Amino acid sequence: MHRADAASALPTGGADAASGFWLRTREIEQARLVLWLPVLLATGIGVYFALPDEPERWIAPAFLAVAVLFGLVGRAVGAVRLLAAILAAMALGFALAQTRAHEVAAPVVERRMGPVAVAGRIVAIEPRADGVRMLLDRLSIAGFLPARTPETIRLKLDGTDGLRPGDDVRIARAYLSPPPAPSSPGAFDFARQAWFERLGAVGYARGRIELVERPGEAGWRVRMNALRADIVARIAATLPDPAGAIAAALIAGEQGAVPPEALAAFRDSGLQHILSISGLHIGMVAGIVFAGVRVTLALVPAAALRWNTKKIAAVASFAAITFYMLFAVPSVPTQRSWLMTSVVLFAVLIDRRAITLRLVAWAAGGLLVAGPESLLSASFQMSFAAVAALVAAFEVASAPMSRARATAGPVGRAGIWLAGTVLTSLVAGFASAPFALYHFNRFSAFGLIANLLAVPLTGIWIMPWAVAAGLLFPFGLEAWALVPMGWGLDALLWIARWVAGWDGAVALFPSMPAWGLAAIAAGLAWLCLWRSAVRLAGVAAMAAGLATVGLHLPPDILVSGDGRLIAVRDSGGRLLLSSAGGDKFARETWLRRDGTADVPEVWPRTGTTGDGSLDCRAGVCVYRAGGMQVSIVRDARVLPAACGGADLVVATVSVRAACRSMAGRTIDRFDLLEGGAHAIWIADGHVRVETVREWRGARPWVPDPPVRSPSRVMRAEPGAGG
């Protein structure tokens, strides 16, 4: 038989079936390709922030131009056009992020200083559980040239003495520091966030703040901040804490004053999203105003007969949510919710349906273009994950639920409503939980139950009274609405405390790698954006991303950037801390990323731990792990003895020439000053060290390392050695 005849004799059913499957899939998915635009923008943005060093600024525009040219040349071929569009969208996201990072550049203080005299304008006053925070701009700082003066600084103080946003003030004793770097490699980078907020210093003030001038005119944002501060003060005067602080969070977006105990209850019960103004609140305000206006107009026969009350209600709702968004503390969920709800209301005006994934995609794309850095925030990731999953689930479930509702009686409709509520909580929780695991290392096991109790209470009782309070504030009658709102808030807090107190309410997890989160995000997008059976592959990608939690290899030693706090891991895997004091934020971050809620044990000043892994004497502790010996030194006088027999020396003092024979195997205060916090892994006779500076890379928001002391003898950079 000839080869051609043999080939023709092969069965072709499988190939035909596969070809038919892909043709049907392409036909189904063709119209949904546009939904991937924000995903591709986000990919380019993510690549920019993941780079270890700042790339040349011409690279992204050049890549974008090449992609566009490639698409034009090969436009006759569909696959070429698609590939060119993918590459162009990613390059655009990369370019947007890099452009934004450079255009927001502003001076940042280089070191801790104070007391120093500061003069400036109050932009915002934020109540906190232990005082207030004040944001200042138009600054004059003693000893700073104008070109080196930060755009804004944020100070913590005990009180404001009647000051309000817009006031020009003078502070005689301010203590300033650069925005803090991460507490360990891979931890949250507040300094990067501060860079994009143009926040050049943080600190605190002591003594009285002097009012210099109270100008009559100010920008709209400052005036809105002043109004918000006044409203928050009036809420506090009407409702005692914690109900007053929770009311301020729901009405004004000010969460800072919520007591830590109440905040922990909301967090552990899975209700923390209620404290953040997001889709739940914007949607409720829109719905309450829409229904209120429409019912009111329906009671006026002339209006009901002559006017389109539905469209008038939509305009009123838009005005209400726009003011709410501008009035509240700005956040990504607030902006996203306002944008999406506005489109829904506009669709009412033009008699169109608007709740689609296209709306979600355009909202995400708009926010990424306006602020590419928002991609890195937990609020952006969790908000869009939940909304995209809900809309995708609505696409699947809406038709069968509508058919069931059409034939159901009163009891059946109540059951359908309950099923929809449960499904909403399940879908939103399923979609946002992996992002909560990555950012907060915790999962609220009973969040579904808590939300089934709390969300109806919030929508039926609390938020209507919040809207009423907003209408009564101009007349000084807000207490009429705030008092009954407070009753609902007390019940809400009771639910949060009750659920948070259940055994197993919170599961803690160690940190997952960033690429694990990327796999989860890609899998969720794949699952939500496609409609055919290929979408199920997204479940596998999400499962693979979640599995990376098990790949976490915690460090054996952690050293804070100032050297005041050190942690070592005992043979049972627990962290032992050098002190009960030191850097509180670093301690909390280390324990959270370790996935433990245990009260940390402080190692003995003298003596040996129970497992023998740590032995402390005057000024030095010897730690043994992985077949190696590490000397942890706090007293320079014991350095010569500590270096003998050690594979690695970690010192909070200067090593200089005391350990000359250990070149390349020491970490001292100069290394901490240059590299920031250190994480050290010890295994099989090898040492691996990673510093915060190495992890952050050479980026615009990372300050240049300090100049090393000229008397420094050796360069301490432990590597894989022993």
Q: Is the pLDDT of residue 710 over 50?
A: no
Query: Which of 520, 549, 311 is CA-nearest to residue 442?
Result: 549
Domain locations in the chain?
30-103, 113-218, 221-354+456-506, 375-445+510-549, 557-696
> Is 276 in a helix, a strand, or coil?
coil
Q: Is the pLDDT of residue 712 over 50?
A: no
- Model confidence at 129, pLDDT cuts 50, 70, 90, reads confident
- Model confidence at 121, pLDDT cuts 50, 70, 90, reads very high
Q: Which two tokens stand for residue 511?
A: 């940190």
For the ranges 20-24, 133-137, 422-426, 571-575, the maximum mean pLDDT occurs at: 133-137
Q: Which two tokens stand for residue 719?
A: 């590597």
Q: What angle do CA 298, 278, 36 make, to 5 degrees?
A: 105
Q: Which two tokens stand for residue 116?
A: 């120093």
Q: Which CATH architecture has domain 113-218?
A: Beta Barrel (2.40)
Question: pLDDT tens for residues 455-508?
Answer: 889 988 998 999 899 889 999 999 999 999 999 999 999 999 999 999 989 999
The contacts of residue 382 (CB under 8 Å, 6+ apart) are 273, 432, 435, 436
Question: pLDDT tens for residues 38-85?
Answer: 999 999 999 999 999 999 999 999 999 999 998 888 888 878 888 999
Per the CB < 8 A criterion, the answer to whether 237 and 486 are in contact is no
Q: Is the pLDDT of residue 15 over 70?
A: no
> How many angstroms separate the CA atoms of 49 and 26, rounded?
33
- Determine if the peptide bond prior to 115 is cis (ω within 30°): yes
- Model confidence at 711, pLDDT cuts 50, 70, 90, reads very low
**Which residues lie across from 153 on neighbouring strands?**
136, 201
> Is 218 in a helix, a strand, or coil?
coil
> How many angstroms separate the CA atoms of 387 and 390, rounded?
5
> How many angstroms separate the CA atoms of 494 and 515, rounded?
39
> Is 131 in a helix, a strand, or coil?
strand
Q: Which two tokens stand for residue 195?
A: 């860079």
Average pLDDT on 327-355 reads: 79
CA distances in angstroms from 476 to 327, 361, 465, listed in the order given: 18, 42, 15
Q: Is the pLDDT of residue 16 over 50?
A: yes
- Mean pLDDT score of the chain, rounded to an integer? 86
The pLDDT of residue 39 is 96
Question: pLDDT tens for residues 242-259?
Answer: 999 999 999 988 888 899
The dihedral formed by the CA atoms of 295, 283, 396 and 86, expressed in degrees to the nearest 10: 140
Q: What angle do CA 424, 430, 433 make, to 5 degrees?
A: 125
Q: How far apart are the first and last CA of the chain?
A: 69
Helix residue ranges, H only, 555-704: 584-594, 639-643, 669-675, 692-696
Q: State the amino acid at position 399 in one-letter form.
A: A
Q: What is the model's pTM?
A: 0.87
Q: How many CB atoms lie under 10 A from the CB of residue 216?
A: 6
Per the CB < 8 A criterion, the answer to whether 238 and 244 are in contact is yes
> Is 357 in a helix, a strand, or coil?
helix
Per the CB < 8 A criterion, the answer to whether 167 and 122 are in contact is yes
Q: Is the pLDDT of residue 721 over 60?
A: no
Q: 645-682: string of b/e by CB count within 10 Å (b at 16+)?
A: ebbbbbbbbbbbebbeebeebbbbebbbebbbbbbbbb
Q: How many CB atoms lie under 10 A from the CB of residue 61?
A: 15
Q: State the amino acid at position 638 in one-letter form.
A: V
Question: pLDDT tens for residues 511-549?
Answer: 999 999 999 999 999 999 988 888 899 999 999 999 998
Proportion of the chain above pLDDT 90, given as a percent:
46
> How many angstroms separate the CA atoms of 653 and 670, rounded?
8
- Model confidence at 188, pLDDT cuts 50, 70, 90, reads very high
Q: What angle do CA 685, 689, 693 make, to 5 degrees?
A: 175
Provide the 8-state DSSP code for 448. Answer: H
> How many angstroms separate the CA atoms of 210 and 118, rounded?
11
Per the CB < 8 A criterion, the answer to whether 57 and 385 are in contact is no
Q: Is the pLDDT of residue 580 over 50?
A: yes
The pLDDT of residue 159 is 80
Query: Which of 118, 197, 105 is CA-nearest to residue 703?
Result: 105
Which of 149-163, 230-244, 507-521, 633-647 shows the lowest mean pLDDT across its residues?
633-647
- Tell which wins on pLDDT, 655 or 242: 242
Per the CB < 8 A criterion, the answer to whether 638 and 658 are in contact is no
The dihedral formed by the CA atoms of 682, 688, 691 and 694, expressed in degrees to the nearest 10: -160
> How many angstroms separate the CA atoms of 377 and 381, rounded?
6
The pLDDT of residue 151 is 95
Average pLDDT on 217-237 reads: 86
Task: Provide the phi-psi class of 680: left if phi over 0, else alpha when psi is between -120 and 50, else beta.
Answer: beta
Per the CB < 8 A criterion, the answer to whether 472 and 478 are in contact is yes
HEC string of 500-528?
A: HCCCCCEEECCCCCHHHHHHHHHHHHHHH
